[in-house]
Amino acid sequence: MTAAAFLTGPVTPASNSVSWQAVRRRRYLLPTAAVLLAVAAPAVYAEAGNPLNDTVNISVGGFLLDTKTKIRVDGDLQSGDEFDAERDLGLDDSDRVRLDAYWRMTPRQKIRLMWFSTDNTARKVLEDTIDIGDETYPVSLEVEAGMKTTVTAVSYEFDFLQSENYELGVTGGLHNLKFDFHIEAAGGGQNVAGETTAEANGPLPVLGIHGVWRLNDQWYVDYGAQFFKVSFDVYDGRVTDYNAAINWQFSKHFGAGLGWNSFITKLDVDNERFDGSLRWSYGGARIFVTGSF
């Protein structure tokens, strides 16, 4: 008896191939169903507009930004001076956009994403002499400086406490800090043709907590904190991130909110593109809209 006959009974040659196709379908039916159930699982308990069990949430808003940046860039021949980018180089604050999103994989598990970027350039006549890298930028020199900082965060959240009105969980993930700085002489009659650049780019691990407290069907409070003492690759320092917001869910899928966020990075960096220290922070109020699905 053939294998096909053993599985399906006596068959004619014409039905033999059909039987083998049925066997193959049965072989892959269970794992395929398991994958589909895993993907569709959040929809079973999802409720758009409810931050305690929606599936996808996206938040976009304007950031009323206050940044403070202190940098020291060392050269091969000399140690650099620490300077204040806003005060000494005129790299003032500006309003920026921040994006937050999460996907609830299961009732207690989420994947969170965050993206924020600020990019400033300015011209300024120096009021003090500053050593940056191997270049000396003397007093009264007009310089052009630029600084771009991008923070991209990916984290996993597990909610160990849940009820109809609140949830509290632990988070762990990576904050990727990409920092680019440049300065060059722009005039002023000084015989200086120097230019200095510094770049840092790397993932910084963080751990923290996150919670939601639902006041009623339309209002809820969202809060979180992340911290890590870093000694990682070319970085040595610490990262802290605090945020809190109150949200108004004015319709099933859309809402608005007002919040506060503070992100502080203090790092000593040692690599070819940036040898020195970076003390960078941003913070302030933000107004945003949310979509819940």
For 21-66, the pLDDT digits (tens) are 444 455 545 455 444 444 444 444 568 889 999 999 999 998 777 7
CA 122, CA 120: separation in Å to the nearest integer? 7
Is 171 in the same domain as 191? yes
Is 194 in the same domain as 215? yes
φ, ψ (nearest 5 deg) of residue 84: -95, 115
Confidence of residue 231 (pLDDT cuts 50, 70, 90): confident
Q: What is the DSSP code (8-state) at residue 139?
A: T
Identify the domain boundary among 27, 45, 63: 45
**What's the confidence (pLDDT) of residue 280?**
87
CA 27, CA 186: separation in Å to the nearest integer? 71
Is 215 in the same domain as 118? yes
Residue 84: which of 281, 257, 239 has the closest Cα?
281
Residues near 204 by Cβ (< 8 Å), separated by ≥ 6? 174, 175, 176, 177, 228, 230, 232, 235, 239, 265
Give tens-digit pLDDT for 110-135. Answer: 999 999 888 889 999 999 999 999 89
Is 11 in the same domain as 151? no
Confidence of residue 1 (pLDDT cuts 50, 70, 90): very low
Mean pLDDT computed over 198-222: 93
Confidence of residue 268 (pLDDT cuts 50, 70, 90): very high
- The winner for highest mean pLDDT among 30-39, 180-189, 248-257, 269-278 is 248-257
φ, ψ (nearest 5 deg) of residue 255: -150, 180
Q: What is the mean pLDDT of the chain?
A: 83
Mean pLDDT computed over 185-201: 75
Residue 289: which of 260, 238, 248, 234 has the closest Cα?
248
Chain centroid to CA 252: 27
Mean pLDDT computed over 160-186: 93
Mean pLDDT computed over 137-145: 92
**What's the confidence (pLDDT) of residue 4?**
37
Is 66 in the same domain as 15? no
The H-assigned helical ranges of 46-91 are 85-89
Is 58 in the same domain as 21? no
In order, the DSSP letters of 192-226 are: ---EEEEEEEEEEEEEEEEEEEE-SSSEEEEEEEE
Domain that holds residue 98: 51-292
Is 37 in the same domain as 57? no
pTM (two decimals) = 0.78
